[in-house]
């Protein structure tokens, strides 16, 4: 088997190596480098790409790779794992979702451009070198809100659903594509781009941003090991939750405030509600009067809630999804 190379990382069969992918420079002359890990199995097999922190404040996803990649024995692995723990190093350095240089959501510009903005150039360099050889993609994320752990895959994509089942979260979100989805530029997400080329891909959403959370991190560790087992790359435990709840919709299925004030939630992410059941209410801080109540418009599951209770008119309150099936 031939040596595999991604950026400066070069691994022969049976080796694990680390390196960087070059993606330009800052004005001061410092190079922009993306860390990459390669684990090249002793036996031939699929190529799995696993990425984290495309949004720079999504640290749970980084710790998942920190726990999984060094623990893989290359002698037991079939195929190649290419892992990028910090997909967007500029956003990561500023502890923000996007880099200040262009304020672009990097997960809207895949597969990137070699002559575009910084986010597009980063995406292009990573895509060409680490993603394009992949037979499967796991794009690790966290939520910017109080969000239940779940795994997203494209509606109608059976291979990606199988990958999501192997990852093993109880909640699975089958993402609907519509005009709103297009308007939000979701077609520029890494998962959606590789999926359009027939490559199975999933987006696990592992807790909240800006903090380490043990339960979501462990779910990600178990999930990534489950994917390796599913692909026949590494034998091991495949997580089996007691039940699977398949949701239909997207992260755009949100309710917003008509009033303004402080939001008091009466439910938690992951709660199932009947039509008409109350989610919570807004009160005005000047006289503590309730100004708006929120109820479930249909039978639904609360996927996420706003994390900051201070809400202006038109502000986000919650993401509600339809329960398609329970297995």
Domain segments of the chain: what residues? 4-248, 253-326
Question: So what's the pLDDT on residue 241?
Answer: 77
What are phi and psi for residue 78, nearest 5 degrees? -105, 125
Q: Work out the pLDDT band at 144, boundaries 50, 70, 90.
A: confident
Q: What DSSP letter does each residue of 62-103 carry, written as one string?
A: HHHHHHHGGG--TTT-EEEEEEES-S-HHHHHTTSSS-TTT-
Fold entry, domain 253-326: OB fold (Dihydrolipoamide Acetyltransferase, E2P) (2.40.50)
Report how far residue 291's alpha carbon sits from residue 258's, in angstroms, rounded to the nearest whole number.
9
57 pLDDT higher than 80: yes
| pLDDT tens per residue, range 250-291 | 999 999 999 999 999 999 999 999 999 999 999 999 999 999
| pLDDT tens per residue, range 187-197 | 999 999 999 99
- Range in 11-15, 178-182, 291-295, 317-321 the model is least confident about: 178-182
Q: Work out the pLDDT band at 239, boundaries 50, 70, 90.
A: low
Scan for tokens 């895949």, then name that residue: 110
Q: Please name every residue paired with 173 in a beta bridge, in sequence order, or none if there are none.
A: 152, 247
| pLDDT tens per residue, range 156-185 | 999 999 999 999 999 999 999 999 999 999
Q: Which class in CATH covers the domain with range 4-248? A: alpha beta
In whole angstroms, what separates CA 241 from the centre of its chain?
Answer: 20
Mean pLDDT rounded to a whole number for the chain = 96
What are phi and psi for residue 69, nearest 5 degrees? -60, -50
Question: So what's the pLDDT on residue 236?
Answer: 76
1 pLDDT higher than 70: no
Contact 281, 293 (CB under 8 A): yes
53 pLDDT higher than 70: yes
Q: Work out the pLDDT band at 89, boundaries 50, 70, 90.
A: very high
């Amino acid at each position: 088997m031939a040596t595999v190379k991604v950026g400066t990382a070069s691994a022969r069969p049976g080796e694990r190596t680390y390196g960087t992918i070059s993606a330009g420079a800052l004005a001061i002359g410092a190079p922009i480098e993306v860390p990459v890990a390669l684990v090249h199995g002793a036996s031939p097999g699929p190529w799995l790409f696993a990425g984290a922190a495309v949004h720079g404040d999504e640290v749970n996803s980084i710790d998942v790779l920190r726990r999984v990649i060094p623990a893989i024995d290359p002698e037991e692995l079939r195929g190649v794992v290419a892992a990028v723990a910090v997909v967007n190093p500029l956003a990561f350095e500023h502890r923000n979702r996007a880099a200040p240089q262009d304020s672009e959501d990097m997960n809207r510009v895949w597969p990137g451009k070699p002559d575009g903005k910084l986010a597009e150039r980063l995406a292009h360099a990573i895509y060409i070198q680490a993603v394009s050889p992949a037979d499967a993609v796991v794009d690790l994320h966290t939520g910017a809100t109080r969000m239940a752990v779940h795994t997203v895959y494209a509606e109608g994509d059976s291979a990606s659903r199988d990958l999501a089942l192997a990852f093993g979260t109880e909640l699975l979100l089958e993402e609907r594509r519509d005009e709103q989805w297009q308007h939000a530029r979701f077609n520029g997400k890494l998962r959606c781009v590789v999926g359009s080329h027939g490559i199975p891909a999933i987006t696990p959403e592992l807790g909240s941003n800006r903090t380490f959370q043990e339960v979501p991190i462990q779910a990600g560790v178990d999930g990534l090991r489950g994917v390796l087992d599913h692909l026949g790359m590494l034998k091991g435990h495949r997580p089996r939750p007691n039940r699977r709840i398949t949701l239909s919709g997207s992260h755009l299925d949100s309710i917003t405030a008509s009033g303004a004030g402080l939001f008091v939630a009466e439910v938690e992410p992951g709660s199932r509600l009947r039509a008409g059941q109350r989610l919570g209410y807004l009160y005005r801080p000047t006289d503590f009067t309730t100004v708006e109540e929120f109820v479930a418009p249909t039978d639904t599951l609360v996927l996420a809630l706003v994390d900051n209770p201070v809400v202006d008119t038109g502000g986000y309150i919650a993401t509600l999804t339809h329960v398609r099936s329970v297995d």
